[in-house]
Structure 1
Amino acid sequence: MAGWSCLVTGAGGFLGQRIIQLLVEEKGLQEVRALDRVFRPGLREEFSKLQSKVKLTLLEGDIQDEQFIKRACQGTSAVIHAASIIDVLNVIPREIMMNVNLKGTQILLEACAQASVPIFIYTSTIEVAGPNSYREVIQNACEEDHLETTWSAAYPYSKKLAERAVLAANGWALKDGGTLYTCALRPTYIYGEGSPFLRGFVDQALKNNGILPHNSKLSIANPVYVGNVAWAHILALRALRDPEKAPNIQGQFYYISDDTPHQSYDHLNYNLTKEWGFCLDSRMSLPIWLTYWLGFLLEMVSFLLSPFYRYRPPFNRHLVTMSNSVFTFSYKKAQRDLGYEPLFSWEKAKQKTTAWVGSLVGQRKAGLGTKTH
């Protein structure tokens, strides 16, 4: 398979960029096709610097455009499918979520079969496993526990069905007589420089005298650094290309975490921002059970108003459950089958993320300075 090529979808996203940066270092790789709906100008410049290492082709288009996807897959040796819409507040209409996350994945799988692409790696999420109740304690869960979300919210539901489609496609016959081999990676909550969630928390805190929003103090999660998730994708790709390792990986899914300490989401945000003077809100918060039922009432209001007005509740039961659960996972199976070891330590990940938070604070102060002069 000398002189191989790889297509990465969602290449302009938080995780996709990191996958591209690591992928261009792979041996024998001739071309990376980076696909996304649109690339911001700054990222185009960053990617152009990688051209010295490998041919990097930027493809702008819609994952639902069958002809575009067929052309993107033509002559490709592997696909890493990291594109999806993440929405925890049900802001995006359900139909769009299902079309992009599920239908887009199905279109891509069909295109791989037609273009005889033998390897397909899917970026899934732990949300396909739950949590289903904030009362349930799940610690160091593994793949053999067969956890599955019972939520019908568009994001976890669309990702669950898409992952199922990917794993069911393992063993498909390709047009050239070959076979399609697939696997899925389920990262825990991803943090790191560029995180849209962390950016949102920092923005909120900057508007509130440096006080971070606190709504997840009772959770215990094992967050994972974005660079380690990207590294797991590279190792999955190597393993599926290795005739000795591949049989153990085909049709499998893997939880991806790292050695970031298990902590609440609130404490993670605090640990990544405290160097810049941010602090946690010390005020009393409502009991979880009460917040949960308030979420239910807000969902009902949204539903009743839907024929006349699109009301977007500030939170819902699914978000309350996710944000307040004990829900952690082991990466031992990925360690065993993929040879996965985190590339970045917690200290390094924290250092890189904290420095990025500092740049956000600096931008904000510079912006305020501009306004006052």
Structure 2
Amino acid sequence: TEPQRCNKTLVTGGGGYFGYKLGCALASSGASVVLYDINKPIWEIPNGVVCIQADVRDYNAIFAACEGADCVFHVASYGMSGREQLHREEIETVNINGTRYIIDACKQRNITRLIYTSTVNVVFGGLPIEDGDEETVPYFPIEKHVDHYSRTKSIAEQMVLAANGTPLAGGGVLYTSVLRPPGIYGPEEQRHLPRLAVCNIQRGILSFKFGDPSAQMNWVHVENLVQAQILAAEALTPEKNYIASGQVYFIHDGEKFNLFEWLAPLVRTLYALSLNILTYFAIHNSGFPLFSSAVQNISITHTFRIDKARRQLGYSPEKFTFADSVEHYIKSRAEARSEHGFPRVLLFFLAIFSLIFLSLRFDDVVLAAHLPVLVL
């Protein structure tokens, strides 16, 4: 029997890259989609998608947006990277209070399904993990997290799991599930890695290997994470025997990567193309510290198994490469710039320099640097 599809769904964090991609995929399947975010998406809004610009900490707005929904994908979060990491109060209120409001709204609106986007950092805090799975890898102690984002995401995840099986106001039960992705990459992702790339490649941090030179990690392409989210929603239905009820799943591309080896060809290309300009930016952006959370995420092995997601959800990640995302991004931006008559040299530099690394997302790399923004 085909599982129940979403008729109307709410995606918090729908103004961001992943939330937007998820909303579009749901709309393509025939669902009515509400993208809920404090910021509007920068991309075109497809038919069947409504945007509500509001804060996840505004319960009344959340309650109103949830009207008629049968499924909520809670993607919104704050404090993942950059200067956001310094705003402790906002991290606490968005990630913890916002999640509490989502849970409460689900109960009051009789929404039966809630899928929460967590992070591998709820279990990883600097100690090596190799091929960890959901049953054997415990939560990293809350009080030992070096950054507030990971700590609050762990608290929020446990709140969502604790809400599984609780009664709804109009009868029925709330079913919840949690997905734990690592870093997300894709052709149009453009938030986090610029801080890592611009600040640290220029300063030579990635020109040598520190920590364990063979350290490995996982990545997930945005399309694979979208697939997992939709499968998790289907697995919270009677047709699937609620198999995902109260469950957590590691989600990634099914491969391990060494960051230094993965980025080396791109670093060489970047240096070869724009060494002088890079030197200029390096001089004007030096002196910003790399937080310890960034170091441990880059230099310590933390890999996970996705057997449970394959078995229970039917998750089958497609094959993607970082190079494909870069090629797509450069091509799309080059076409856009050519329409505005940019000088060819500037166009080439902007496309290569900005977007080689924008296509990749560090879900758990945090930099304190405040860098110039390249608006393409």
Q: Does the pair score TM above 0.5?
A: yes
Question: 1:128 — aligned with what?
Answer: 122
Answering whether residue 5 of structure 2 is matched by residue 6 of structure 1, we say no
Residues 1:334 and 2:309 are matched in the alignment: yes
Q: Which residue of 1 aligns with 2:324?
A: 351
Using the alignment, how far apart are the partners of 2:193 and 2:111 within structure 1? 36
Unaligned runs of at least 5 residues, structure 2? 276-286, 338-344, 351-376
Q: Is the 8 A contact 1:183 1:253 kept in 2?
A: yes
The aligned residue for residue 104 of structure 1 is: 98
Residues 1-373 of structure 1: pairs in structure 2 closer than 5 A: 4-27=7-30, 29=31, 31-40=32-41, 42-43=42-43, 46-47=44-45, 50-51=46-47, 55-88=48-81, 91-133=85-127, 137-150=128-141, 151-152=144-145, 153-193=147-187, 194-204=189-199, 208=202, 218=213, 219-241=215-237, 243-260=238-255, 262-270=256-264, 314-343=289-318, 345-347=319-321, 350-357=323-330, 365-366=346-347
CA positional deviation for 1:215: 6.4
Tell me the TM-score normalized by structure 1. Answer: 0.76
Query: How far has the Cα of 1:147 moved from its partner?
Result: 2.5
Map Cα deviations across residues 157-187 of structure 1 (whole Å, 9 max, x no partner): 0000000000000011101101100000000
1:98 counterpart SS class? helix
Structure 1 residues 61 and 276: alpha-carbon distance in aligned structure 2, compared to 1, 3 A threshold: same
Q: Displacement, 1:360?
A: 6.5
One-letter identity of the residue aligned with 2:33? V
Is residue 56–residue 62 contact of structure 2 (8 Å, CA) maintained in 1?
yes
Kept after mapping to 2: 8 A contact 1:131/1:327 = no
Shift of 1:97: 0.2
Deviations 1:245-273 (A, max 9, x none): 2432100000001134x222233333566
**Matches of 2:79 and 2:327 in 1, distance apart?**
24
CA distance, structure 1, for counterparts of residue 23 and residue 267 of structure 2: 27
Separation in 2, partners of 1:83, 1:62: 10
1:270–1:278 CA contact under 8 A, matched in 2:
no
The question of whether the paired residues in 2 share the 8 Å contact of 1:185 and 1:256 is answered with: yes
Are 1:131 and 1:325, in contact at CA under 8 Å, matched by a contact in 2?
A: no
What amino acid maps onto 1:63 in structure 2? V
SS of 1:85's equivalent in the other structure is: coil
DSSP-derived class of the 2:180 partner: strand
Distance of 2:225 and 2:260 partners within structure 1? 21
Amino acid at match of 1:366: L
Find the residue that maps to 2:242 and give its secondary structure. Answer: helix
Contact 1:273 1:357 in 2 (8 A): no
User: How many Å separate the matches in 2 of 1:204 and 1:33?
Assistant: 36
CA contact (8 A) 1:220 1:325 kept: yes
Report the Cα distance in structure 2 between the residues aligned to 1:185 and 1:2, rounded to whole angstroms: 19
Secondary structure of the residue that 1:20 maps to in structure 2?
helix
Which AA in structure 2 matches 1:38? N
Partner Cα separation in structure 1 for residue 253 and residue 153 of structure 2: 22
Cα offset, 1:38, TM superposition: 1.3
Shift of 1:213: 6.3
What is the CA–CA distance in structure 2 between the aligned matches of 1:72 and 1:92, rounded to whole Å? 30
Q: 2: distance between equivalents of 1:210 and 1:95? A: 33
Residues 277 and 99 (structure 1), Cα distance of their counterparts in 2 relative to 1, 3 Å cut: same
Q: Mark the CA change 1:368 to 1:328 in structure 2 (over 3 Å): closer, same or farther.
A: closer
> 2-side partners of 1:132 and 1:237: how far apart?
31
Deviation at 1:191, TM superposition (A): 1.8
Asked whether the 8 Å contact 1:139–1:329 carries over to 2, the reply is yes
Structure 2 CA distance for partners of 1:186 and 1:209, relative to 1, 3 Å = closer
The superposition leaves residues 196-243 of structure 1 with CA deviations (integer Å, 9 ceiling, x where unpaired) of 23333454489x4999666667331121112211111111112223x1
Give the unaligned 5+ runs of structure 1: 282-311
For 1:91 and 1:247, locate their aligned partners in 2 and report how far apart those are by CA, in whole Å: 36
Q: How far apart, CA to CA, are the structure 1 residues paired with 2:230 and 2:150?
A: 24
Q: Is the contact made by 1:125 and 1:187 (CA closer than 8 Å) also made in structure 2?
A: yes
Alignment match, 2:356 = none
For 1:353, give the aligned amino acid.
V
Once residues 339 and 14 of structure 1 are traced to their aligned partners in structure 2, the CA distance between those partners, rounded to angstroms, is 24
Q: In 2, are the aligned partners of 1:18 and 1:230 still within 8 Å (CA)? A: yes
TM norm structure 2: 0.76
